[in-house]
Structure 1
Amino acid sequence: MPYVVLPWLAEHAELAAGTGVDEVAADLVRVGLEEEEIHTSGVTGPLTVGRVVTYADEKQKNGKTIRWCQVDVGEDSPRGIVCGAHNFAVDDLVVVALPGAVLPGDFAITARKTYGHVSDGMICSARELGLGEDHEGILVLTEVADDVGPGTDAIELLGLGESVLEINVTPDRGYCFSVRGVAREYALATGGAYTDPGLPVPAGSATPPPSPTQDGFAVVLADDAPIRGAQGADRFVARVVRGVDVAAPSPDWMQRRLRQSGMRPVSLPVDVTNYVMLELGQPTHAYDLGTLTAPIVVRRARAGERMTTLDDVDRRLDPEDLLITDSPDGEGSRAIGIAGVMGGAATEVGPLTRDVLVEAAHFDTVTIARAARRHRLPSEASRRFERGVDPELPPVAAQRVVDLLVQLGGGRADEAVTDVDATTAPATIVLGTHLPASLVGVPYTEQEVTETLRALGADVRAGELAGTVEVTPPTWRPDLVEPVDLVEEVVRLRGYEAIGSIVPAAPAGRGLSRDAWLRRSVERALAEAGLVQVLTYPFVSPGVHDALGEHADDPRRHALRLANPLTEEAPELRTSLLATLTAAAARNLGRGAERVAITETGMVTHGRAVPSLLPDGGAYPGDEIVAQLEAAVPDQPRHVAAVVTHADAEAVIGLVLRLARVLGVDVALAADPDRSPFHPGRCARVTAGDTLLGHAGELAPQVCAALELPARTVAFELDLDALVAAVPLEPVRPTRLSTFPVAKEDVALVVDEAVPAADVLAAVRAGAGELAESVELFDVYTGDQLGAGKKSLAFALRLRADDRTLTAAETAEVRDAVVAEAGQRVGGVLRG
């Protein structure tokens, strides 16, 4: 997030006297730059500049040597202070925290006895003041004004009393990642004056950028693999500064602003390039000229190419990476930087550097964004390039870096200048001046619209048609490409508060659709049964198909692979809910859950690989291509599934039957010995007529082991869309409630073990006829009494008539009919 340092902001935008950081934050909010946080130093109390008068080194018993110092802090007599650092000398100016001061981390300073002396304060390091991580020695003040001496307020001198505003910038407004952009927005919010440091002669620049010359350092733009038709680099400025003292310290004011902006001072060349980037929004890079061989070639990476970046990481480059290369062994043969992301270690400015080549370039946003993500290497430069940088800035930024290196490092600028410019002007947008008012409802006049767009920096001319204007966006606003973009800018700068809040009347609704209501009924039934509804990510590893025991020719193995997965470990879209639901169950068990009963409703994807039919350039491809694209969209049916530990197959099949009853769907169950991930002998195939709805049963032992689930875990998965489609369209008609008593009759039938219980149940229901109010299977028995290959199924019949009390003879007649029907259909006989 960008930081707003008020004194720096005030150099380019008019700030009224006494304006605080809170007022600036409120003004920026009005133009869409939201406050993220206000940072303060945390330093209070007396913090002063001191001059070391004398010191004596004293070696302690523990082997440590301390300095007993006398420090002039602007009082009548020096103060005695114990210091453990040794990087200062007599007459050096240091920062002294006197008793009563509080340093960052709520560290209170008091006079205390230590090492045999009473230390009346503390000489501070940069880290102790919150100015950086340097803790090797105390902070010695150099290059300070002549009027700075003992007793000077160090809080004001070091900027520790300044609050810094951190703002939140949306991705389309990359120009606000700079003092230049924020100052422009602040001036628009307040109506104050604005000085653009991005103009050819920026504030503080000694000279305007010179015109390119023929003898500049050779640069070739050779991108032979552009993305979306856009060249990776369309401008490259190179300047040379000789005789730079790279060991010269960066001035305190520059280091202070870098720290306040969240950056660590490193060395003069690095600090200068970072400072210019923060000020203008244009990243620049400094090379050790002595390590370069002309020409610099900007090209795509070659297969197998590698380079070591400034962070000392050896990186394997991708053919889409845009590289900065030089030519020690041939044209463009050595990579010296990943363009717009990070430079290379081979050409880094070091202690022996004397001549510096300054690069300021303009790169394609998509190219840089992909490279930064591909290498997991977000940098301050890539954050700006991927949001869009002003293509007119490179020569201005390069000149600013050159001036600072000359001024602060004693360098001498070469007259030779390189500026390879292949940029194009922003496209003109035709805007109807009535459009903002018609879209927003605020009666903006034509004059208000044109004045607002001109204040934005756009070139506005009268259009060929009446009531239109031709708007050329400023170069720093690549996000303005359509009329609605300009409408948004008019609304933003004219004030969102001008838009009235009109709540539309809510039309009478019909509630949920029939299918949505039925799906809700399924979810509610599972929740009432004690299952917890969860939501899992639909991304899976290719190895999940093996873990679930899917056969080699199983269609569920034909998963759709993502082009840009969130993680390489899970690049496929799931083809079954159990692929992710079982993992969720195992994760909960691994975190201490004793029992798990979870359910999920979600999409699965039945993929098919289809090449992209879209043409380059983003143009509308035509109705035929659109129809083909729509036909190529993979099927994504909605499924419902559950995983339950510490239960049996009958329990999970009972859940399936419960869902069928809730929806009023007649389902049939049949054994299915060849359906992964289920146990071959404990899996039920669920159908409605000729439609397969899914499967339920016990997971196979090898699946439980692979997924780290308890043995005999049960599950089901149903095609919820197919289940809902099987619901009868006719409304359910209520039956008349009988006032006569129910008659109970139990029937035990012996059948072959291979006969499905569902077939026997169907026979019993058919035999019982209309008098059967309910038929339930309540017992299954096998044993020696029945004989080999036989089983007994016991059914509870509840019989009732609408107009009479059933007699014993009538119930016996129903019983006989049941036995006869079972014998005819499934060969069942009454158990003796």
Structure 2
Amino acid sequence: MRVPVSWLRELVEIPATDDVDAIGVRLVSAGLEIEDIEVVGDIQGPLVVGRVVSFDDEEQSNGKSIRWCQVDVGEDNGGVRGIVCGASNFVAGDLVIAALPGAVLPGGFAIAARKTYGHVSDGMLCSGKELGLGDDHSGIMIVEATTAVGSNAQDIIGQADQVFDLAVTPDRGYCFSMRGVARELSIAYASTFTDPASASLPTVTAGDRAGIDDGADRIIISELAGFNPAAVSPDWLQLRLRLLGMRPISLAVDVTNYVMLLTGQPLHAFDSAKVSGALRVRRALQGETLTTLDDVERQLDTDDVVIADDSGAVALAGTMGGASTEVDGTTTGILLEAAHFDSVAIARQSRRHKLSSEASKRFERGTDPQLPAAAAAVAIALLVEHGGATLVSVSEVDQRPATTAIAFDLQRPTRTAGIEIADSFAIDALTSVGCIVEGSQAVVAVTPPSWRPDLTDPADLDEEVIRLFGYDNVPSRLPRLPSGRGLTAAQRIRRTIAQTLANSGHIEVLAYP
């Protein structure tokens, strides 16, 4: 899980004096393993917004196709410049990011006017990878049409940032999100946490486009109309996706990915014009097939959990959508799905089909059953603001089981750690991770938070208290061995007899190993 420091600072009150190393120490103390720390956006020299005026496609003798582009980078930057580009994901009129001669990109890559493919390329049109914003090298970055030509592109991609690459263990699935990591960091700092999933669904007409037969206990289908298929994701949203290692695709897809990375709740957008009737969660039928978004036709197993409409399966639930209901450049109506699926079923079908996705990684570790509504609310707000959509209705089926409390002895952490841990500390520690602690006796009732499916018994709560107490604060002592008291009377008699017999020429045979 990639975690930008700048984004963490928006969600957690972190002392301004704490650098990336100090923050890293706090993350490790929270039980999160740091695999790498990457510096991104460290760019020097002229990096500007340019407009592609025109271009010519040219085939080279080596079989490679390039574009000889005329790019307007603003009067102050030399006007129109000729730049060679190997990407093809843009059209005339698009705004792009151009590194001009004198710029130095991440990795020490210096830009200069160079002759290449028969032209003098007076700069470079940059992809996200070349700017140090993730690994996407499939095409150059396209920026919002409202950006001024010739303006400083650093204002778009942001200043230099540091990104933690965290290894998330299976029991900490909630940390596959900015929300989860920020919450843990706020506990480590004992500071304020701003919950990005505090939004509520707007009050609209209740729909009837959701259903559950098996494989889930909650699903919300939000219907939006009037969506502008030509709308593009704002620069800040594209930047955050790139920082977290994802490639911007389209506004509808980008919004669902952004909300997943922010909250930990995967979402899926269906083209409402391609869906017949309600969307139901059920098991796949015998002989049923589904062509997923990767254009692979999959033979479904009767244990697979799918989302189906009146025509059949349209998505492999919690794993990947179907090609038949994909949002595209003509989509004007969206059915936004947010659900809480059976984690075991999702894990099994992901392995069965050898299909691991960002969504399945989260569902198989267990997601927060309370998140679908808040995540849908965040996504709806973005689609309305940037896509011009209107929320028509919200359909919900909620079959979540009642939560149960765990009886917990407050002295258990003391016995486990071998050091005195005050009852008040145990209560504060459990409360800080989101538990509800009730009772005033030695044994209290603890209700784990909805985002912690790993807290199921007293031993789990015990571990949380000791973790927050600090493993470094638990002394390591070797057990004291009792002083020697010599042989027992029976041992002395046996050894005397054995020695006497041996002295008489007898040989002792051990008849057991």
TM-score (norm 1): 0.54
Q: How does 1:217-232 map to 2 (within 5 A)?
A: 217-223=208-214, 232=215
CA contact (8 A) 2:136 2:245 kept: no
Instruction: Give the structure 1 partner of residue 160 of structure 2.
Output: 161
Instruction: Give the structure 2 partner of residue 441 of structure 1.
Output: 418
Alpha-carbon distance, 1:149 to partner:
6.0
Amino acid at match of 1:82: G
Alpha-carbon distance, 1:105 to partner:
6.0
Whole-angstrom CA distance in 2 between matches of 1:320 and 1:38 = 41
Q: Deviation string for 1:225-248 (max 9, x for gaps)?
A: xxxxxxx21001111010111231
Q: Which of the residues 317, 332, 352 maps onto 1:374?
A: 352
Q: Could you say if the C-alpha distance between residues 59 and 191 of structure 1 is closer, same or farther in structure 2, counting changes exceeding 3 Å?
A: closer
Whole-angstrom CA distance in 1 between matches of 2:239 and 2:209 = 36
CA contact (8 A) 2:52 2:95 kept: no
Instruction: Give the structure 2 partner of residue 337 of structure 1.
Output: 315
Whole-angstrom CA distance in 2 between matches of 1:322 and 1:277 = 20
Alpha-carbon distance, 1:484 to partner:
1.3
Alpha-carbon distance, 1:291 to partner:
1.2
What's the secondary structure of 1:173's corresponding residue? helix
Instruction: Give the structure 1 partner of residue 396 of structure 2.
Output: 419
Q: Is 1:473–2:443 an aligned residue pair? A: no
Instruction: Give the structure 1 partner of residue 492 of structure 2.
Output: none
What is the count of residue pairs matched by the alignment? Answer: 481
CA contact (8 A) 1:473 1:480 kept: yes
Amino acid at match of 1:83: I
Q: How does 1:217-616 map to 2 (within 5 A)?
A: 217-223=208-214, 232-328=215-311, 334-414=312-392, 416-462=393-439, 466-504=441-479
Instruction: Give the structure 1 partner of residue 502 of structure 2.
Output: none
What's the secondary structure of 1:419's corresponding residue? strand
TM-score (norm 2): 0.85
Q: Could you say if the C-alpha distance between residues 496 and 144 of structure 1 is closer, same or farther in structure 2, counting changes exceeding 3 Å?
A: farther
Amino acid at match of 2:12: A
Q: Is 1:730–2:509 an aligned residue pair? A: yes
What's the secondary structure of 1:40's corresponding residue? strand
Whole-angstrom CA distance in 2 between matches of 1:59 and 1:301 = 49
Q: How does 1:761-776 map to 2 (within 5 A)?
A: none
What's the secondary structure of 2:98's corresponding residue? strand
Q: Could you say if the C-alpha distance between residues 99 and 427 of structure 1 is closer, same or farther in structure 2, counting changes exceeding 3 Å?
A: same
CA contact (8 A) 2:30 2:467 kept: yes
Q: Could you say if the C-alpha distance between residues 139 and 346 of structure 1 is closer, same or farther in structure 2, counting changes exceeding 3 Å?
A: closer
Alpha-carbon distance, 1:472 to partner:
0.7
Q: Could you say if the C-alpha distance between residues 108 and 357 of structure 1 is closer, same or farther in structure 2, counting changes exceeding 3 Å?
A: same
Whole-angstrom CA distance in 2 between matches of 1:343 and 1:57 = 37
Alpha-carbon distance, 1:6 to partner:
2.0
Gaps of 5+ in 2: 484-507
Whole-angstrom CA distance in 2 between matches of 1:221 and 1:127 = 42
Whole-angstrom CA distance in 1 between matches of 2:52 and 2:409 = 74
Larger Rg: 1
Whole-angstrom CA distance in 2 between matches of 1:348 and 1:58 = 31
Alpha-carbon distance, 1:38 to partner:
1.3
CA contact (8 A) 1:104 1:130 kept: yes
Instruction: Give the structure 2 partner of residue 124 of structure 1.
Output: 126
What's the secondary structure of 1:95's corresponding residue? strand
% identity of equivalent residues: 45
Higher relative contact order, chain-length normalized (CA < 8 Å, sep 6+): 2
Q: Deviation string for 1:90-140 (max 9, x for gaps)?
A: 8x754332334333565332234568876553343445435564666x544
Q: Is 1:179–2:162 an aligned residue pair? A: no
Q: Could you say if the C-alpha distance between residues 491 and 149 of structure 1 is closer, same or farther in structure 2, counting changes exceeding 3 Å?
A: farther
Amino acid at match of 1:486: L
Q: How does 1:644-723 map to 2 (within 5 A)?
A: none
Q: Is 1:44–2:22 an aligned residue pair? A: no
CA contact (8 A) 1:104 1:128 kept: yes
CA contact (8 A) 1:155 1:161 kept: no
What's the C-alpha RMSD, in Å, of the aligned pairs? 3.2
What's the secondary structure of 2:308's corresponding residue? strand
Alpha-carbon distance, 1:73 to partner:
7.3
CA contact (8 A) 1:301 1:317 kept: yes
Q: Could you say if the C-alpha distance between residues 80 and 120 of structure 1 is closer, same or farther in structure 2, counting changes exceeding 3 Å?
A: farther
CA contact (8 A) 1:43 1:101 kept: no
What's the secondary structure of 1:235's corresponding residue? strand
Q: Could you say if the C-alpha distance between residues 445 and 53 of structure 1 is closer, same or farther in structure 2, counting changes exceeding 3 Å?
A: closer
Amino acid at match of 1:30: S
Alpha-carbon distance, 1:167 to partner:
0.7
Amino acid at match of 1:221: I
Gaps of 5+ in 1: 202-207, 224-231, 329-333, 509-728, 733-832
Whole-angstrom CA distance in 2 between matches of 1:60 and 1:304 = 47
Instruction: Give the structure 1 partner of residue 488 of structure 2.
Output: none
Q: Could you say if the C-alpha distance between residues 80 and 247 of structure 1 is closer, same or farther in structure 2, counting changes exceeding 3 Å?
A: closer
Alpha-carbon distance, 1:365 to partner:
1.2
